[in-house]
Every structure is written in structure tokens, then in C-alpha cells.
Amino acid sequence: MSQLVLSILLASPAWATIARVQKADAYPGNSVSLTGTTAGNFLVVGASWADTTSDPTVSDTASNTWSALPVLGGPTGQAAVSIKLFYAMNIKGGNTTITLSSSPVDVGIHAVEYSGVATGTALDVTSTAAASSGTTTPTSGSFTPTAGDLIYAYFGDEGTAQSTISGGTSYTIVTATGNHVDASEDNLSAAGGAQTASFSLGTTTYSWALYVATFKASGTRARRPTAGLWTMARLFILRKTTRLSCPPQKWGRIRIRVSTALRCA
């Protein structure tokens, strides 16, 4: 009996590779500068301060358009803390100084430039957490990014100085300040599925806030399914080889079903 070997190759859609271009931070201070940013790239800013009432906005010298996530106020058990994230898509490029509209008490600011992020509707999902219980691994709530997303996490703590701050599993620390404690980490290519983000601290924190935002890669048009035949990790290729026993004269009339069942017509 003759055999036909049929290979079905399924590949996930292509999207851009996200890369961190540069970073800057200031403490104390409400302003930070990036040198020679590239037109079309993406900026994200994290800020933290020692009260739960301020709600600053942000602007820059390049006249980029900024979007803001809601301010997250932490508990007041050990020391008041608030954090907030801002982002600018499809930036204009050039030297850029970013400034908060006000300077709350003990303010710190981080800014990061990325390439490969979507130039429109980049925000995918967010998650927040705030607690007054002691921990050395502050952790976000659960979130489900699209595979290939940029994950940016920002942490603030006004009550406990830190000598060491490390990123969570699959994350890289971007910037960190240990006295007034604020730190940012990123994952440049998220895996799909529910997950959390965390930081590892050298000293127990008792009053903290943590913000996570994920941003779509350029070329990502919609959230891909999280289950079923078409769920695949980035660059993952599923190869299915099926051997079909039927006469060679009928190979041209093979029917392929979603279940990968094959039969001679």
C-alpha cells in the first residue's frame, strides 16, 4: 500500500520585537531627561510620592501626547505612598525632558524608552496591588497579557529603606532607588496566560503599592485566543505529520479537517 506523508505547519502571527532603548530616573525631583529619543518609539513613566491625595499629570518638551493610568494610593499604615503610570505612543523623537505637573512630597520619577511597541491603542491590560502587611516579595494581582506584550511593573514604598531590590522571575530591574523606595522592572516579551509580577526586597516592607501595565507589540491587531488550536507561544511552531494509507491516484482529493483527520475521497 502506498503512503502519503502530509505535514501541516501552523505558525503564530508575527509581531515586532520589543527592546528597551534607554532609561532615566530622578530622586528627589519631578523631572527627568532622555537624550535623542527615536521618532515612533514608546515612552513609559512611573512616579511615586509620599501622600495619598496628589494626582499629578505629565508633559514634555517634545509635545508628545501622554495618557495616564489612574493614581494608585497605597495604605497609610507605615507611611503614605502613591504611584502613577503615564505613557506616550508614537513619540516625536529628539531630546525630551519629562516633568510632573506638581512636585509632591518625596517624589521620584522613572522614564523608559522602548522600540517595537504599538503606535496606537498600545495599552493591553493592567493590574494593581497595595498592602500594609509585611512581605519581602510584593506581588501584583493576576493579569493576562497577550503573548509578546511588554510588561512594565512599578513599585513604591515610603516606609522602609532597601539595600537590595531584585526583579521577579522573567523580569529585569530597570531602575531602583533604595531610600525613597521606588523600582521598575520589565519583561520584554510576555508569555500568554494568567500571571503575576513581583519584586524581591532585602528588607520587609509594611506599606507598599505596585502597578503593572502591559503594552502590545507593533503589528498586534487584536488579542489572540487563550485556548484552542490557535493558542501558541511567540515563535512557537506546531508541526503535525499524519500518514495516510490510500492509493496514489487519490492523493489529489484528500480532505483536511480541523481535527487533522484525513481520509481518501
| Domains of the chain, residue spans | 3-13+222-263, 19-215
Beta strands 3-11; 72-73: pairing state: unpaired
pLDDT score of 127 more than 60: yes
What are the cell numbers at 133? 502587611
Contact between 182 and 154 (Cβ < 8 Å): yes
What are the cell numbers at 88? 506616550
**How many percent of the chain have pLDDT more than 90?**
65
Q: Which residue has the higher pLDDT, 248 or 159?
A: 159
Residue 75 binned pLDDT confidence (cut-offs 50, 70, 90) = confident
Phi-psi region of 174 (alpha: psi -120 to 50; beta: other; left: phi over 0): alpha
What letter would DSSP give residue 253? G
Residue type, 145: P
Contact between 159 and 78 (Cβ < 8 Å): yes
Residue 39 pLDDT: 98
> What are the backbone angles phi and psi of residue 174, rounded to the nearest 5°?
-95, -60
Mean per-residue pLDDT, 205-234: 69
Residue 192 binned pLDDT confidence (cut-offs 50, 70, 90) = very high
pLDDT score of 55 more than 50: yes
Residue indicated by cell numbers 482529493: 253
Question: Cα 157 from chain centroid?
Answer: 21
Residue 221 pLDDT: 52
What are the cell numbers at 113? 524608552
Residue 132 binned pLDDT confidence (cut-offs 50, 70, 90) = confident
Closest CA to 214 of 250, 249, 171, 175: 171
Residue 134 pLDDT: 87
Q: Report long-range pairs for 19-24 (Cβ below 8 Å, ≥24 apart).
A: 19/114, 19/115, 19/116, 19/188, 20/112, 20/113, 20/114, 20/174, 20/186, 20/188, 21/113, 21/114, 21/115, 22/112, 22/113, 23/110, 23/111, 23/112, 23/113, 23/174, 23/175, 24/110, 24/111, 24/175
Residue type, 187: N
Residue indicated by cell numbers 481518501: 264
Closest CA to 196 of 183, 215, 210, 180: 210
